[in-house]
Structure 1
């Protein structure tokens, strides 16, 4: 029984790894930028007040497609871009691994918005920034069509997860690692 479980978990991780490599790893910056533009437009359609919100923050990361999968052992990965004043300034990967109660697979877009200049500066200066260690991220819990114009801007970093496809139990950004890419 235990051997069967370990084989299943290993097979899932191998499939995830192959899928990630084929779809996400080492994308040219032009592809990341085009996909980020499409994700931002989707964000504007799904999140009322989203355009106004992003115009007020100091910078934001856009991960157009983050794949997360797990069966007790899990992981997530995606590649994206940091935008400051609407311009692409650097490219990053988002990755995390975990062990615990989790089941399923999901693909979603993430926007991580830096409200304070200090939070953005710390992120840019870091060499491998980790959520929950190097800075706290507030995961925004607004549903499709909800107006976020009432957001308080009191927290330094907000995350929006949208456009989910698939089903995954367990949404958590703590321990997620952001690494600068050479593009």
Structure 2
């Protein structure tokens, strides 16, 4: 095998390798796809459903500094479980970032469910802390305004003082008692 033939194969392999790497990168970077448009459409539909089904959330949304809307989270488990969903952070009605929600769990559990949820950031400080974090995790201190089988909790003055409020609704499936505790939210590029 000659030296020029060997280098031609190497150059050809390098060019083909770079071309495939570029195509692979382009597929995942959001260029030429409609992931953001699809997420925004689902967020709009989720907000419309929430406002119609739970009118108490309108007042909460009007007072919130921002809202993280997760239109569809799928949670499943058999001893070990997990959940995943994608959504958008809205400030003054406009999408500013996209996020994924991931949750893992262990213990006695079986079944699957899908649900939507909205986090209302009631203070600028809570919103800023969420946006600055590289991976924010929901804790047990969340105050729920819609939870379980769609029970609606009034938005009284005590509730509205909480830095972060949560609405979990639209549950479908065999698992009961959706909770956001332990869910980790990470900024994504759709």
Same fold (TM over 0.5): yes
Q: Which moved more, 1:53-62 or 1:144-153?
A: 144-153
CA distance in 1, matches of 2:125, 2:64: 12
Q: Secondary structure at the match of 1:168?
A: coil
Q: Which has the higher contact order (CA 8 A, sep 6+)?
A: 1
**Matched-pair contact (CA < 8 Å) for 1:47–1:145:** no
RMSD: 2.1
| Structure of greater Rg | 2
Inter-partner Cα distance in structure 2 for 1:121 and 1:109? 23
TM-score by length of 2: 0.75
Other-structure match for 1:148: 154
- Deviation per CA, 1:4-32, whole angstroms, max 9, x where unpaired? xxxxxxxxxxxxxxxxxxxxxx9711000
Gaps of 5+ in 1: 1-25
3-state SS in 1 of match to 2:125:
helix
Q: Which residue of 1 aligns with 2:66?
A: 59
**Is 2:47 the counterpart of 1:40?**
yes
Give the alignment partner of residue 98 of structure 1, picking from 92, 99, 105.
Answer: 105
**How many Å separate the matches in 1 of 2:54 and 2:39?**
22
* Displacement of 1:48: 2.1
Deviations 1:61-109 (A, max 9, x none): 0000000011111000000000001110000000011111222110111
Number of equivalences: 156
Determine the structure 2 residue equivalent to 1:79.
86
Cα deviation, residue 42, structure 1: 0.4
Structure 1 stretches of 4+ moved >6 Å: none
What is the CA distance between 1:59 and its match in structure 2? 0.3
Query: Residue 114 of structure 1 contacts residue 158 of structure 1 at CA under 8 Å; is this kept in 2?
Result: yes
**How far off is 1:146 after superposition?**
3.9
